[in-house]
Structure 1
Amino acid sequence: MTVKWEKIENNVGVLEVEVDADKVSSALDQAFKKVVKTVTVPGFRKGKVPRFIFESRFGVEVLYNDALDILLPEAYTSAVKETQIEPVDRPEIDIIQMEKGKPLLFKAKVTVKPEVKLGAYKGVEVPNKEFPVTAEDVEKELAELQKSHAEIIVLEDGEVQSGDLAIIDFEGFVDGEAFEGGQAEGYQLEIGSGTFIPGFEDQLIGMKKGEEKEIKVTFPEEYHVTSLAGKEAVFKIKLHEIKRKQLPVLDDEFAKDISEFETLDELKADLENKIKERAEHEKKHYIEETVIDEAVKNAEIDLPPVMIENEIDSMMADFKQRLQFQGIPYDMYLQFTGTTEEKMREEMRDNAEKRVRTSLVLEAIAAAENIEPTEEEVDEEIKKIAESAKMEEDRVRQLLQARDPNFLGLKNELKIRKTVQFLVDQSKLV
């Protein structure tokens, strides 16, 4: 196989590939063995038609597509490896020649990872910033702890208040007609959570158990269902149950019940220490973000748009997975937040571009400074993962190797961490 690579634009080039005629012949043989099983010719059993009769009757050309399916993936992968390019998108394949007894000729238009022209990244001046811990911070943390240990009680009497969990049936109508997706039974809604479109939850406040009510809301102008956008809707509501959080008393007994401490003062002291640890982490993160942002700002990259789109795809997939873990259907989320997937993608665009640029710059700095994790560092990281997961170290190693035999993903993560630490070590607090 012969390969030629030529850049035609900044991040786009063309691979010209010639695959030997004997490999084409072998692929045609494999294609025939596959196709002949489905062919019926009078006088022959299915799958037993001789090759010369098959080709004389149907033509060898009918085998070309299957043969290409066999040839192209391997040939393209080998060409990429030989030229050492790094594609970031699927190639556009153009078949120049596919003929029995002759080499396969094809061109592949490929978008590749852009070159990074690094600017200044050493000696970055970071304005010193304090992250103080106050008594008010401790009280807020204690209040959150109190809320998390609240008892959920079912009210027999009383009215819906903000913060309550309301169990409702609802059905929505626009212009007197029920609309798809606008109804549910036994739905648990936290009042004030902002789960539903503006105005919906507020109008449930004051309702009593067993009460039925009609409320009016207006769909946002940019609502993803165009037939509902900007329309006024009437929802028929029936309230089945009110649940309320009953906060525990903050005293020594509370501290004993939810922690290993005997007194509330001891619990507060522990909370203060944890908040201080978080503050130290926040300061470390602030310094890291500052030096990274400066390195990215000073670098020059002609970023292919497809890399941003791919990152948005990844971010959307992560978001949908988080919704799934929470038991929230994606379509329902869109409906009740009044947004669209296109709008969400656009809102993610700036962050996606920043993430791609940051990744490319850190990778380029690591290459420039010859930063690589040692085997000892890899072993130490596996040990930490095992301790965190409370698993045997050998078992963790086996699981990691099963999906990444050479630990390339883990090594890359460690390399990026070492690169960030390198930038921090080179920076100056001012």
Structure 2
Amino acid sequence: MQIAETLNQGLRREYSLVIPAASLAARVDARLAEVSKTIRMPGFRPGKVPPNLVRKMHGEALRGEVLQAAVNDGVQQLLVEHKLRPANQPQVDLEGDMAEGSDVGFKVALEVLPTVDDVKIDGLSLEKLIVGDNSAAMDEALTRLAGQAARTEPAAAKYKAKAGDTVVIDYEGRVDGELFDGGKGEAMRVTIGSGQLIPGFEDQLIGAKANEERTVKVTFPADYNVAYL
């Protein structure tokens, strides 16, 4: 295999490679001999088909297969001999005459990884950061995670809801007897004591039983996001 560098600019490299005709022919002959052992053809015993007949019928396809393998081997030889670390898949372009009995040339173009000089770390210092004790925040986070992972089960018909229970409610909200926009919903999950609803709402769900209707009276906070409430 003949290898010549044709471009060395920045991280860009290009090379010209030539596979000698004799080398390629030897590889084709070896492949023909290998294939002849497995090809079946009327009039011949298995594995006894003459190589010249195999060449006549399958030579072109086998030569293409061998050529591809030879090109791949050439690229690997190039990378090893020139100690190249490709940053991308090398681009291969065949050149010149591909006729049997001729040398086969091809070009390989690629970008290489940059060389990084050894970094001296003598004299460098590291700052070790230590997280302070924040037990309250940790407890809050653990409680929240536990709540998110909690599983609920249907309660008995006479069971009365208590703080920490999750209830599923259908509701209608009214102001002065009139239903207001966004004040109606179904199948809303509420954990009593979680503070997800306005103050006073969840407390009035304590003691509720399944399928019970009850009236909850609350006063909306002054800073509630709906002005008219």
Cα distance per residue 1:346-402 (max 9 Å; x no partner)? xxxxxxxxxxxxxxxxxxxxxxxxxxxxxxxxxxxxxxxxxxxxxxxxxxxxxxxxx
Report the secondary structure of 1:207's partner residue. strand
Q: Which residue does the alignment assign to 2:5?
A: 5
CA change 1:149–1:90 in 2 (3 A) is closer
Report the secondary structure of 1:155's partner residue. coil
Amino acid at match of 1:67: V
Give the number of the structure whose residues are more often helix, by fraction: 1
Matched, 1:113 2:113: yes
Q: Which residue does the alignment assign to 1:16?
A: 16
Q: Which residue does the alignment assign to 2:84?
A: 85
Displacement after TM superposition at 1:144 (Å): 5.4
Q: Distance in 1 between matches of 2:28 and 2:85?
A: 30
Cα distance per residue 1:247-304 (max 9 Å; x no partner)? xxxxxxxxxxxxxxxxxxxxxxxxxxxxxxxxxxxxxxxxxxxxxxxxxxxxxxxxxx
Displacement after TM superposition at 1:91 (Å): 1.8
Displacement after TM superposition at 1:84 (Å): 0.7
Q: Distance in 2 between matches of 1:20 and 1:11?
A: 29
Identity %: 18
CA change 1:34–1:12 in 2 (3 A) is farther
Report the secondary structure of 1:159's partner residue. strand
Q: Which residue does the alignment assign to 1:94?
A: 93
Amino acid at match of 1:13: R
How many pairs does the alignment contain? 166
Task: Output the TM-score relative to the length of structure 1.
Answer: 0.30
Amino acid at match of 2:73: E
Q: Which segments of 5 or more consecutive residues in structure 1 lack a partner in the other structure?
A: 162-204, 209-241, 246-430
Amino acid at match of 2:75: Y
Q: Which residue does the alignment assign to 1:66?
A: 65
Cα distance per residue 1:162-205 (max 9 Å; x no partner)? xxxxxxxxxxxxxxxxxxxxxxxxxxxxxxxxxxxxxxxxxxx8
Which of these two proteins has the greater Rg computed from alpha carbons?
Answer: 2
Q: Distance in 1 between matches of 2:68 and 2:40?
A: 19
Matched, 1:135 2:144: no
Amino acid at match of 2:152: I
Cα distance per residue 1:112-142 (max 9 Å; x no partner)? 2134589999878989977433232342354
Q: Distance in 2 between matches of 1:83 and 1:141?
A: 57
Displacement after TM superposition at 1:81 (Å): 0.3
Q: Distance in 2 between matches of 1:149 and 1:59?
A: 66
Q: Which residue does the alignment assign to 2:175?
A: none
Report the secondary structure of 1:69's partner residue. helix
Higher relative contact order (CA 8 A, sep 6+): 1
- C-alpha root-mean-square deviation of aligned residues, in Å? 4.5
Amino acid at match of 2:87: V
Cα distance per residue 1:3-59 (max 9 Å; x no partner)? 22343543222222233444312320233245554574x65456543233444x448
Q: Which residue does the alignment assign to 2:50?
A: 50
Amino acid at match of 2:91: E
Q: Which segments of 5 or more consecutive residues in structure 2 lack a partner in the other structure?
A: 158-166, 171-184, 192-229
Q: Distance in 1 between matches of 2:138 and 2:4?
A: 65
Amino acid at match of 2:18: E
CA change 1:65–1:133 in 2 (3 A) is same
Amino acid at match of 2:51: R
Q: Distance in 2 between matches of 1:128 and 1:49?
A: 75
Cα distance per residue 1:50-106 (max 9 Å; x no partner)? 233444x44843332111233223222111100111112222212235454444422
Amino acid at match of 2:19: V
Q: Distance in 1 between matches of 2:52 and 2:88?
A: 41
Asked if the contact 1:7–1:14 (Cα under 8 Å) also holds between the matched residues in 2, the reply is yes
